[in-house]
Amino acid sequence: SVTLPSQNVVNVDSVTAYSTAYPGVTIPANFSPGSTAYLRAVVSDPFGSFDISSATVTIKDPNNNVLVNGAAMTMVNDSGAALKTFEYPYVVPAGPAGAWTVTVNAKEGTENTVSDNGVGAFTVVLPTPSLMVLKSVQVLNDPVNLAVNPKAIPGAEMLYTIIVTNSGAGAVDNNTTVITDTIPANMSMWVCASPTPPTCASPTPPVTYSCTSAPGAPCGLTTPLALADVTYSNTAGAPPGSFTYTPSAVDANGYDDTVTGVRINPKGIMNGNGSGNTSFSLLLKMRIK
């Protein structure tokens, strides 16, 4: 027998990821989870496009995991000369971020024994959160006017509202949503609903907390707050130091003059915006010294 070396005749000229189906020509810089990458291969054969029989695609993520293995591609154009174009719509799953590899195998002839591989890639970028924090204050009451048109005078109780909004598409990592607030030197923080000086007997945190997501979906964080989700500091400075202080100078009304900072860490994953912004609010009560 005689064996003669030969080269493949069929050739995968290009492998490209588009954001729209054929004949769309938009090549995005990256794709995000949930979007569709239209993986398109141009295949040539000098004998003529009639001799190009099929094309399959294999997709690997940046960790070299095979997500699609030898899936059949759809022929979307035949030039009638030497080219055929194949396409495979791929809905990008959640992560990982980075370069995803696309390998296209094209075959020629009825025997399907002659083939060629072409390699392309597309980049996946994970959506990120975008957090905004707003803080406001109102006077609840004072020792002179009580709750009727109260003034911010010594002894007045103040209600601080902190609203955290995630307007980004990405979620905040599990248990990593943390708000810290420095207590002004002329303020005392209400730390105990049921004080038994010099300790605190409250079964729940003295922070009112709500978590919502427009248009009404859960924001993802756990409600209500647990006692361990609210911790205190008595270390001077801004921001406060370690949050290991247990309120021990609580007066009969539940205030502790020695608290210099508070940290609130609601548990769970704060969702991305979806079709509306995700937010949660915190209400903290203070008293002017």
Q: SS3 for 22-84, per residue?
A: CCCCCCCCCECCCCEEEEEEEEECCCCHHHEEEEEEEEECCCCCEEEEEEECEEEEECCCCEE
Residue 176: predicted pLDDT: 95
Eight-state DSSP code of residue 127: -
Cα(219)–Cα(251) distance, integer angstroms: 36
Which pLDDT belongs to residue 2?
46
Tell me which of 74-83, 212-221, 261-270 is least confident.
Answer: 212-221
* Closest to 162 measured CA to CA, from 267, 57, 284: 284
Q: Please say whether the beta carbons of 173 and 266 come within 8 A.
A: no
Pairing assessment for the beta strands 157-166 and 131-141 based on DSSP bridges = antiparallel
Q: Which two tokens stand for residue 254?
A: 């539940």
Name the pLDDT band for 276 (thresholds 50, 70, 90). Answer: low
Helix, strand or coil, per DSSP, at residue 158: strand
Lowest mean pLDDT among 159-168, 176-185, 192-201, 270-279: 270-279
Model pTM score:
0.69
Query: In DSSP terms, which residues pair with 120 in a beta bridge?
Result: 102
**Distance (Å, whole) CA 253 – CA 144:** 17
Identify the band that residue 4 occupies on the pLDDT scale cut at 50, 70 and 90: very low
pLDDT of residue 3 exceeding 50? no
Q: What is the rounded CA–CA span in Å between residue 20 and residue 151?
A: 61
| Helix or strand holding residue 284 (H, E) | strand 278-288
Inter-residue contact 288 to 155 (CB < 8 Å): yes
Mean pLDDT of 220-234: 90
266: closest CA among 228, 210, 225?
Answer: 225
d(CA 150, CA 157): 9
User: Which of 104, 102, 78, 73 is CA-nearest to residue 89?
Assistant: 73
